[in-house]
Structure 1
């Protein structure tokens, strides 16, 4: 298996949408990734095998020195083969080259070993507020 990693690589929305649905186990959604990422992200990483998108990660940022890992996705048949850590390593280099000093990530507990051991992140304290949608007031 030869995986090619590309910082700010070209992609089709449908390919990322298929990968997102598989990675996060939901139905296919028609998200406009091109516009969203070009408008709000520092960069992204595409992982391809034989031209097929098999991994993707979004690197958002604050416009300064902080970058944030979002939506790390690896195709089911490529998992546990180093594709995810390759995505993160490429994201680290892209953020560093852009002048960022910090790369943040949050994740579910079952991904602790991946982010801390395979990718080199350190534990930190962080906070979170859930923002569920509110019902519209009755007219």
Structure 2
């Protein structure tokens, strides 16, 4: 069983570890607490029965009616169990409850089915400039 929480407690080390596993890269030492306090409307944590952080999503916002899904991550050993969909669903509900009218997400092509089919996003025209 997995328990979801809006603005759930977390430690930087456990989010960094989950991020490295979910996005398949080496260890990082980001200060998630400072980043989220400054830029986020909220976040959703997913915890296993043993307390382990197995999912996380950040909900950034513009301070008005637009919120943005960032860093949706699920422990790869728990993939395809609905955790990611539940994370995004709770993020959407809480963004709406906070007065947001729009929830944006961008994603790589291999995640199209997840975001459009499983999570209910609709495709839009958008632009992107790679800065680095």
Task: Tell me the TM-score range normalised by the shorter chain.
Answer: over 0.9
**1:100-111 correspondence to structure 2 within 5 Å:** 100-111=100-111
Q: What corresponds to 1:4 in structure 2?
A: 3
Q: CA deviation at 1:129?
A: 0.4
Q: What corresponds to 1:137 in structure 2?
A: none
With normalisation by structure 2, the TM-score equals 0.98
Q: CA deviation at 1:39?
A: 1.0
**1:10-49 correspondence to structure 2 within 5 Å:** 10-49=9-48
Gaps of 5+ in 2: none
Query: How far apart, in 2, do the equivalents of 1:42 and 1:111 lie?
Result: 23
With normalisation by structure 1, the TM-score equals 0.93
Gaps of 5+ in 1: 133-139
Q: Secondary structure at the match of 1:121?
A: coil
**1:1-139 correspondence to structure 2 within 5 Å:** 2-50=1-49, 51-132=51-132
- Once the two structures are superposed, residues 58-100 of structure 1 have per-residue CA deviations (whole angstroms, 9 ceiling, x without a partner) of 0000000000000000001110010000000000011011000
Q: CA deviation at 1:103?
A: 0.1
How many residues are treated as equivalent by the alignment? Answer: 131
The root-mean-square deviation of aligned C-alpha atoms, in Å, is 0.5
- Once the two structures are superposed, residues 33-76 of structure 1 have per-residue CA deviations (whole angstroms, 9 ceiling, x without a partner) of 00110111000000011111000000000000000000000001
